[in-house]
Amino acid sequence: MDGEKKTYGGCEGPDALYVKLILSDGHEFIVKKERALTSGTIKAMLSGPGQFAEKEADEVHFREIPSHVPSKVYALCMCFMYKVRYTNSSTEIPEFPVVPEIALELLMAANFLDC
């Protein structure tokens, strides 16, 4: 119907579709859980022994990544989109260009995130 607002699933509970990533200065990103799990680091953070049973929301804190460094945030997003997009693709794996100017920063971020 027109005028109906779209509602999204939340970050709460074990079936949460989304997960919240919190950077060191408090900025929050909400990302689809399936995409976030492509990062080995985030996967470990979400399922590690530090998980409390009564924890409501799936949150991951990145104390090292400040939001004012756009390349690192950019790297986070790239990691998620890239792997999910191409892992189960039965078609040709297309080119994924990485601009040389940011390649080094992206490498460090990708190494941290293990993706």
Partner 1 sequence: MASFPPRVNEKEIVRSRTIGELLAPAAPFDKKCGRENWTVAFAPDGSYFAWSQGHRTVKLVPWSQCLQNFLLHGTKNVTNSSSLRLPRQNSDGGQKNKPREHIIDCGDIVWSLAFGSSVPEKQSRCVNIEWHRFRFGQDQLLLATGLNNGRIKIWDVYTGKLLLNLVDHTEVVRDLTFAPDGSLILVSASRDKTLRVWDLKDDGNMMKVLRGHQNWVYSCAFSPDSSMLCSVGASKAVFLWNMDKYTMIRKLEGHHHDVVACDFSPDGALLATASYDTRVYIWDPHNGDILMEFGHLFPPPTPIFAGGANDRWVRSVSFSHDGLHVASLADDKMVRFWRIDEDYPVQVAPLSNGLCCAFSTDGSVLAAGTHDGSVYFWATPRQVPSLQHLCRMSVRRVMPTQEVQELPIPSKLLEFLSYRI
Nearest partner of 30 among 44, 20, 22, judged by Cα:
20
Among the listed ranges 14-22, 46-54, 59-67, 82-90, the one in contact with partner 1 (CB under 8 A) is 82-90
Q: Supply the minimum distance, in Å, between the C-beta of residue 53 and partner 1.
A: 33
| Cα–Cα dist 102/113, whole Å | 16
- How many residues touch partner 1 under the rule CB under 8 A: the total is 20
Q: Supply the minimum distance, in Å, between the C-beta of residue 54 and partner 1.
A: 35
Q: Is 43 in the site for partner 1 (CB under 8 A)?
A: no
Phi-psi region of 21 (alpha: psi -120 to 50; beta: other; left: phi over 0): beta
Say if strands 18-23 and 28-32 run parallel, antiparallel, or are unpaired.
antiparallel
Q: Binding residues for partner 1, per CB under 8 A?
A: 78-79, 82-83, 86-87, 92-93, 96, 98-100, 103-104, 106-108, 110-111, 115
